[in-house]
Amino acid sequence: MTDGKGLQLESLGKRYGNIVAVRDLTFDVRPGEVFGFVGSNGAGKTTTMRIVLGVLLADSGRVLWDGKPITFETRRRIGYMPEERGLYPKMRVGEQLRYLAQLHGSTEGDAVSATNRWLDRFGLANRVGDEVQKLSHGNQQRVQLAAALVFDPLLLVLDEPFAGLDPEAVDGMSDVLHERAATGTPVVFSSHQLDLVERLCDRVAIIQHGRLVALGTIDDLRGKGPVQLWVDATAARPGWASSVQGVRVVSTDGTRVLLELDPATDDQSVLQAAIATGPVREFRRNVPSLLDIFRHVMTEGAVAATA
């Protein structure tokens, strides 16, 4: 944990009757960090975010800001972007942003200035007088993000911020998140778009059934998984790799095979076995994506839960 810096969650627990939504959850989001929070539907991500925001009370554990129990005043300065629309659909865009900025503590002058600045940044300056419901899905997402930014938040908490956006809008929103992080603002967001999480985040937390099952940088998480090798032994008979001790065939693509090694297996022994079949055109480690890591962690977690 980082002492006295950013957001800290310590041993959070939350249940609904017999259902445990969050179980002994501990992690931190550091100043200037873009932090990915991922898990399957129902894993406890939104419940955790709502506890941070103070919308829900935890049954156990605590939320800290800069090493101290989080207060109402700090929560008032959290920029939150919910997965479902949190805007008033019939309210005009500019009026709504100014209202929300003042609700979070901005002066009227600062609210007007920030509203104009963010609408200009998102290419919506000409829609300031339009009702939110008359905007496209992508533009509503932009306004939703502007609502989280318009009062200069201490922390950004975003739930599925990229859902339904086109690539250009994704790039624009990504730039904004990194710019905010560069000012020292912690940014935490959940997303099922794991390719974006992998590209944007400094660290990632994966939860399953409300329990933290993996935490670290992408490289950290890759290092904790099994070693996999792509091998293309062009003259080998089909199925040759199945007889190599200490390996498992994950997939086959023509003469190429993806092999997973047992922890005690030396990759050089696999290379020797491949060379024994004839020419070897490819022999390299597979670099797993966050999606691969996620699937592996979920499988391990499911096995552990039934053990």
Strands, E, within the chain: which ranges? 7-16, 19-29, 34-38, 60-65, 68-69, 78-81, 155-159, 187-190, 203-208, 211-216, 228-233, 247-253, 256-261, 280-285
**Residues 211 and 241 reside in one and the same domain:** no
Range 55-80 average pLDDT: 96
Q: Look at residue 1 and tell me whether its pLDDT is greater than 50.
A: no
**Residues 38 and 183 reside in one and the same domain:** yes
CA–centroid distance for 175 within its chain: 16
> Where residue 197 sits, what CATH number does that domain have?
3.40.50.300
**Residues 171 and 251 reside in one and the same domain:** no
**Residues 160 and 248 reside in one and the same domain:** no
Report if residue 280 sits inside a domain: yes
**Residues 155 and 230 reside in one and the same domain:** no
**Residues 137 and 169 reside in one and the same domain:** yes
**Residues 238 and 162 reside in one and the same domain:** no
Percent of the chain with pLDDT over 90: 86
The 10s digit of each residue's pLDDT in 128-162 is 999 999 999 889 999 999 999 999 999 999 999 99
Range 225-253 average pLDDT: 94
Range of the domain at 252: 226-287
Among 269, 251, 129, 188, which residue's Cα sits nearest to residue 9? 188
> Where residue 274 sits, what CATH number does that domain have?
3.30.70
The 10s digit of each residue's pLDDT in 76-89 is 999 999 988 779 99
**Residues 169 and 93 reside in one and the same domain:** yes
* DSSP codes of every residue in 41-72: TTSSHHHHHHHHHTSS--SEEEEEETTEE--H
Neighbours of 41 (CB within 10 A): 7
**Residues 238 and 215 reside in one and the same domain:** no
Helix axes 167-182, 137-149, angle to 10 degrees: 10
End residue of a domain, out of 200, 221, 242: 221
**Residues 254 and 106 reside in one and the same domain:** no
Among 158, 129, 155, which residue's Cα sits nearest to residue 144? 158
Helix axes 108-121, 93-103, angle to 10 degrees: 130
pLDDT of residue 85: 73
Report if residue 307 sits inside a domain: no
Q: What's the number of domains the chain is made of?
A: 2
What's phi and psi for 204, nearest 5 deg? -135, 140
CA distances from 273 to 144, 176, 216, 282 (A): 57, 50, 35, 13
Report if residue 150 sits inside a domain: yes
Residue 234 pLDDT grade (very low, low, confident, very high; cuts 50, 70, 90): very high
| Cα(79)–Cα(148) distance, integer angstroms | 4
CA–centroid distance for 26 within its chain: 16
The 10s digit of each residue's pLDDT in 93-117 is 999 999 999 999 999 999 999 999 9
Residue 123 pLDDT grade (very low, low, confident, very high; cuts 50, 70, 90): very high
Residue 142, helix vs strand vs coil = helix
Residue 225 pLDDT grade (very low, low, confident, very high; cuts 50, 70, 90): confident
**Residues 199 and 159 reside in one and the same domain:** yes
The 10s digit of each residue's pLDDT in 4-38 is 489 999 999 999 999 999 999 999 999 999 999 99
The 10s digit of each residue's pLDDT in 260-291 is 999 999 999 999 999 999 999 999 999 999 99
pLDDT of residue 304: 55
End residue of a domain, out of 221, 244, 263: 221
Report if residue 278 sits inside a domain: yes
The 10s digit of each residue's pLDDT in 152-205 is 999 999 999 998 888 988 999 999 999 999 999 999 999 999 999 999 999 999
**Residues 65 and 170 reside in one and the same domain:** yes
| Cα(22)–Cα(9) distance, integer angstroms | 12
Among 33, 82, 5, which residue's Cα sits nearest to residue 200? 33
Residue 296 pLDDT grade (very low, low, confident, very high; cuts 50, 70, 90): confident
Q: How far apart are the first and last CA of the chain?
A: 30
Report if residue 67 sits inside a domain: yes
Q: Look at residue 75 and tell me whether its pLDDT is greater than 80.
A: yes
CA distances from 276 to 195, 234, 252, 269 (A): 38, 12, 19, 11
